[in-house]
Structure 1
Amino acid sequence: MTNYYCLVAGLPDLSLEDGKLNYTVANFKSEIYPELSEKDRKLIDLFYLKFDNANLLKLLKDKEAVTDSEGNYSQDELLTLISAVREGDAPDKKYPSYLYEFITAYLALSAEEFYRAEDMLSAYYYAYAMNCGNQFISSWFEFNLNINNILAALAARKYKMDVSQVVVGNTDVSEMIRTSNARDFGLTEMLEYFEPILRISEIEELVEREKKIDLLKWNWMEDAVFFNYFTVERIFVFLLKLEMIGRWISMDKEKGSELFRQIIDKLKDEVQIPAEFR
């Protein structure tokens, strides 16, 4: 069994210089990821798959496209995957099943339907991640799916668009958003965070709205892993926060720096062994 206390306690001291992170999700992948069990690496892979998703969309449009190196798969691996699906080869189990499903669906699209590709891939990705077998990580992806769908639906209503065309996924919440005419899509009683999302959607300034969304996610993570001390969930959250801090710094150096120092201080507190483990 992986000793997560040692991993968390052994994370490098993160420092901030010139408004930039000197430790990134790429560093995490090369330094911490190899120490995880195979089972837990598959859970962490779910985070990095979003980079593969973006790369895959680029390569389906242009096989010479420049891709991001932070994903789980190289450009050559993704091109091999695309070729295998085109040729009808049996799936290679090293790739998540949803990638095969998406590429198959993508290749069947008409030119007029290509605009749907990103939403299609998101639907496959979220469904796959929510079926990962880890309660926290599954809930995290469902939480993000709900936020994205609610914000997209509210924007669609504002601009008199068809809400059903912007909603992703086949969950009960997705279906309610897609079909309900109620102000709150019937979600106020079901989702405690609906009203906060509604207020966020009314913020006109885009950077401020993005910050509020991230803070909502931050608070959700804090609550969700409160009793997870030295587990893969805690490692997953550290990774999510690391990426989030980088985004804050790029949006607002001063605010990002402040929040970055907060996460480091909190991390130092978290590596103290809780009383019940002594």
Structure 2
Amino acid sequence: MLKRNYYCLVAGFPDIVLDQKKIPFSLAELKQELKYHLHADDYRLVEYLFLEYDNINFLNLLQKKEAEFIPLGNYDQNFLIEEIIEPENLPVYIKKFLEGYREENPEQPKLSLENQLTWLYYDFMISQKNEFLKEWFTSLRDFKNIFSVYNSRKFGIDIETQMIGDYELTEAAKRTAAKDFGMANELPYIDQIIGIHENTDLVEQELTFDLLKWNYLDRLNTFNYFTIEQILGFVIKFMMVERWAKLDTEQSKEIFKKMLNDLENSFQFSKDFNINEKRR
């Protein structure tokens, strides 16, 4: 099937770098602009990226946490509250999660609720027909799992409570204590990740983890120019840029410090990283 090209839209995207201090518009404004310009089928793929905010909102409401509602998701607060009571229009993976939660019979009982839902979300994204999304979420899952395994080993945590997905990498991590899991050929970025994990500066670790993802997106889009894949890559990058721009204040630095603290205590994802650009 021929892909739609968005020449003017992509050509009009500003140049962005990961650590820029000011951004030309907000992520919410970008999302709204894309809704106006994109074909409905392509915009649906953009919405899939924003499901990560819906996941957070959904879990907070389900557990009745007094957390601020994130408006960047695809669903408003009233919709999610109503769907928790009587699920009809939720994405299939959230419905599946909710069913296991209510019946106290989750598919992955060893995992936190966040990781249970993340597992299902990643499965959903990896099952998409769009090759960019499939490849991106497959690799993102690898990155997160590798960091989680390294942290679990470092702090004596059961790795099976931290890993997302049931596939070759997670099985290998259970069998061997080798840093490359005996999969150096299948994981060409493993040396970068080992270097990332050995860095002890938490802020630099977080920044270089995003740099690893940024460089990977560039590789994925090497031969995509004006198609939806280039737009999806820009959205993912802009999510990172806005996050770092918001953290560029004293107040935000305190929030970031707390976030890293929570990260260290939860062991959900890695807290150690450093990178030199090197990809397959």
TM bin (shorter chain): 0.7 to 0.9
Q: Could you say what the CA RMSD is over the residues aligned between the two structures, in angstroms?
A: 2.5
Give the TM-score, by structure 1 length: 0.79
Mapping of 1:235-254 within 5 angstroms? 235-251=231-247
Name the aligned partner's letter for residue 151 of structure 1: F
Q: Give the match's secondary structure for 1:30.
A: helix
Work out whether residues 27 and 242 of structure 2, in 8 Å CA contact, stay in contact via their aligned partners in 1. Answer: no
Match for residue 132 of structure 2? 136
1:21 aligned counterpart, secondary structure: coil
2:147 and 2:197 in contact (8 A); partners too = yes
Number of aligned residue pairs: give it: 242
8 Å CA contact 2:21–2:248 kept in 1: the answer is: no
Letter in 2 for 1:79: I
The equivalent residue for 1:270 is none
Q: What's the CA shift for 1:160?
A: 1.5
> Which ranges of structure 2 fall in alignment gaps of 5 or more residues?
250-280
- Deviation at residue 64 of structure 1 after TM alignment: 6.9
Q: Give the CA deviation at 1:233.
A: 0.5
Distance in 2 between the 1:122 and 1:81 partners? 19
Q: Which moved more, 1:199-208 or 1:21-30?
A: 21-30
Q: Tell which deviates more after alignment, 68-77 or 34-43.
A: 34-43
The CA deviation at 1:65 is 5.0
Does the 8 A contact of 1:5 with 1:230 survive in 2?
Answer: yes
| Corresponding position: 1:105 with 2:107 | no
Which position in structure 2 is the counterpart of 1:51?
53
Residue 63 of structure 2 aligns with which residue? 61
Unaligned runs of 5+ in 1: 86-90, 254-278
* Aligned residue runs from structure 1 range 61-140, under 5 A: 61-62=63-64, 66-85=68-87, 91-92=88-89, 95-109=90-104, 116-140=112-136
Larger helix percent: 1
Q: Which has the higher contact order (CA 8 A, sep 6+)?
A: 2
Q: For residue 82 of structure 1, what is the amino acid of its counterpart?
A: I
Q: Percent identity?
A: 35
Match of 1:206 in 2: 202
SS in structure 2 at match of 1:66: coil
Cα distance between partner residues in 2 of 1:83 and 1:179: 42
2:30 is equivalent to residue 28 of structure 1: yes
1:146 matches 2:142: yes
Structure 1 or 2, whichever has the larger Rg, is: 1
